[in-house]
Amino acid sequence: MSTYRYSEQSQPPDAKQITDVAIERFDEVFEVDPKLMSAHVVQQVFPNWDTLRIVASRHDHLDWMHRHWAEKVVSGQRLLDELED
Partner 1 sequence: MTIAPELAEPVLEELRQVLGDEHVLTGKAARFNRARVPAPFPVHRWAERVPDLVVLPGSTAEVSEVVRIANAHRIPIVPRDGGTGLTDGAVPLRHGIVVDVKRMNDIKEIDEVNRTCTVGTGINMLKLNEVLGKYGLIYPDDPASYPCSLVGGRIGTSGWSLIGSRYGHSRDLVLSFDFVLPSGKVIHLGDGAGHKLSKSSSGYQLKHLFMGHQGTLGIATEATLKLFPKPEAELSPFFAFPDYDSAYRTVGQLARAGVATFAGAVLFDEWKVDYLRRDDEAYISQPADVRALVCAVAYGYEDEVIAGGRRLMRIAKENGARYLGDEVSEGDWAARHDRYATPLHGRTKAGQVVPMSWHCEDAAINYSNLPQVRIEWHEIVRKLRERFDMFDDWGMFTYTSANTGVDYLAEIDVGIWEQQLDDESWAAWVQAKKDIAAVALHYGGSISACHGSCREGEVDLVPQELGGGYDVMLDVKRAIDPNNIMNPGKYGLDRAYQLDEGVGR
Summarize as ranges the residues that interact with partner 1 (CB under 8 A). 18-19, 21-22, 28, 30-32, 36-41, 58-59, 61-63, 65-66, 68-77, 79-80, 82-83
Least distance to partner 1, CB of residue 80, Å: 5
CB-count exposure of residue 2 (10 Å: 0-12, 13-18, 19+): exposed
Nearer to partner 1, 10 or 57 (CB): 57
Could you write out the DSSP letters of every residue in 32-66? E-GGGSSSSSPPPP--HHHHHHHHHHHHHHHHHHH
Nearer to partner 1, 5 or 59 (CB): 59
Nearer to partner 1, 8 or 13 (CB): 13
